[in-house]
Amino acid sequence: MNNKKLLALYGLKWNPFLPDIPSEALWHPPHVEEFLFRLENLVMDGGFALISGEPGLGKSKLLQLVSNRLNRIEDVTVGVMERPQGSLADFYRELGALFEVNLTPSNRYGGFKALRERWHEHIKRTLFRPVLLIDEAQEMSTVCMNELRLLSSVHFDSRCLLSTIISGDSRLPARFRQSDLVSLGSRIRVRNVIEPYERSVMMDYLENALKQAGADHLMSVGLKETIVEHSSGNLRVLNNMAAELLSRAAREELTQLDEQLFLVTFAHGKSSTHRKAKG
């Protein structure tokens, strides 16, 4: 069944378990407002912030929340790095494109100088530091990370020209404890380490996802509890299970998803027919 038919069958505005949900429907994790407030202050002074955690805990969605919040501040410029795994030459090319500076990668000093001048002008005009967001930063090379540290620092490290928010899995904090990156690690002013969520928080996430999509009663209470119990505090695991259940329920034209559907889908591992919708 295609996505349009699935949405029509259950009266959904979108599939709540796929990654491409609207920005305004994003779930707000516990204490996220405090973290966003600290980042808003970071934009005034510049520096580094870190989001880290195991895969599937919502780091990228949190970075999306950060982007949405900072973009609402007048005069704040937010750039998002798409290829953190690139070479140093690619690193300069991408920064040039993000901040509208015409760079020649072969002239690294010229690029270094031009970017700093652009950031100086922005700060003088707006009093805000430009913002750079980097997702999957564990893939970024050490040389690029150190280049970013040097590029954004002026006046003997007494001022920072850029607010950089980096996000990555648990390998990232470990890298910052190594000798070649310890200098950058010591400059991280704001940290948000995401741990597996408690059961009540996972239930809040699931209910919020259903409500935002316009399907509060799509799942039985028992099924919600079962999915949360089997998700081990991981949002991606929960979404993957729920998406598979929703797809199967749509194929079998069920009116509601319940615990029996979960048992048939995951306990037996075979595609057998569940109850058909009546009347």
What confidence score (pLDDT) does residue 270 get? 45
Task: Give the residue-averaged pLDDT of 207-235.
Answer: 96
| Residues 156 and 173 reside in one and the same domain | yes
Question: pTM for the whole thing?
Answer: 0.89
Question: What is d(CA 15, CA 35) in angstroms, rounded to the nearest whole number?
Answer: 28
Evaluate whether residue 275 is within a structural domain. no
In this predicted structure, the answer to whether residue 255 has a pLDDT above a threshold of 50 is yes
Last residue of a domain, one of 134, 163, 194: 194
What confidence score (pLDDT) does residue 13 get? 94
In this predicted structure, the answer to whether residue 124 has a pLDDT above a threshold of 70 is yes
Evaluate whether residue 219 is within a structural domain. yes
Instruction: Give whole-number Cα distances, 136 to 80, 81, 97, 141, in Å.
Output: 11, 10, 19, 11
What confidence score (pLDDT) does residue 158 get? 85
| Residues 218 and 144 reside in one and the same domain | no
Task: Give the residue-averaged pLDDT of 171-196.
Answer: 96
The domain that holds 91 is classified in CATH as: 3.40.50.300
Range(s) of the domain holding residue 46 = 32-194
Looking at the DSSP bridge assignments, the partners of residue 154 are: 159
Evaluate whether residue 26 is within a structural domain. no
Rg, Å, the chain Cα set: 23
Cα–chain-centroid distance for residue 228? 21
- 176, 185 contact by CB (below 8 A): yes
| Residues 177 and 260 reside in one and the same domain | no
Evaluate whether residue 277 is within a structural domain. no
Last residue of a domain, one of 153, 173, 194: 194
| Residues 80 and 187 reside in one and the same domain | yes
What number of other Cβ atoms are within 10 A of residue 13's Cβ? Answer: 13
Kind of pairing between the strands at 188-194 and 47-53 = parallel
pLDDT band at 244 (very low <50, low <70, confident <90, very high): very high
Q: What is the pLDDT of residues 6-52, one digit of tens each?
A: 888 899 999 999 999 999 999 999 999 999 999 999 999 999 999 99
Task: Give the residue-averaged pLDDT of 158-168.
Answer: 95
* Amino acid letter, residue 124: K
Evaluate whether residue 47 is within a structural domain. yes
pLDDT band at 3 (very low <50, low <70, confident <90, very high): confident
What confidence score (pLDDT) does residue 274 get? 42
| Residues 177 and 148 reside in one and the same domain | yes
Q: What is the pLDDT of residues 60-93, one digit of tens each?
A: 999 999 999 999 999 999 999 999 999 999 999 9
Q: SS3 letters for the chain? A: CCHHHHHHHHCCCCCCCCCCCCHHHCCCCCCHHHHHHHHHHHHHHCEEEEEEECCCCCHHHHHHHHHHHHHCCCCCCEEEECCCCCCHHHHHHHHHHHCCCCCCCCCHHHHHHHHHHHHHHHHHHHCCCCEEEECCHHHCCHHHHHHHHHHCEECCCCEECCEEEEEECCHHHHHCCCCCCHHHHCCEEEEEEECCCCHHHHHHHHHHHHHHCCCCCCECHHHHHHHHHHCCCCHHHHHHHHHHHHHHHHHCCCCCECHHHHHHHHHCCCCCCCCCCCC
In this predicted structure, the answer to whether residue 269 has a pLDDT above a threshold of 60 is no
Evaluate whether residue 25 is within a structural domain. no
Evaluate whether residue 274 is within a structural domain. no
Total number of domains constituting the chain: 2
In this predicted structure, the answer to whether residue 273 has a pLDDT above a threshold of 50 is no
Residue in 111, 76, 107 with CA at minimum distance from that of residue 94: 111
| Residues 129 and 250 reside in one and the same domain | no
Evaluate whether residue 75 is within a structural domain. yes
* Residue of higher predicted confidence among 170 and 268: 170
Task: Give the residue-averaged pLDDT of 201-206.
Answer: 98
Last residue of a domain, one of 132, 160, 194: 194
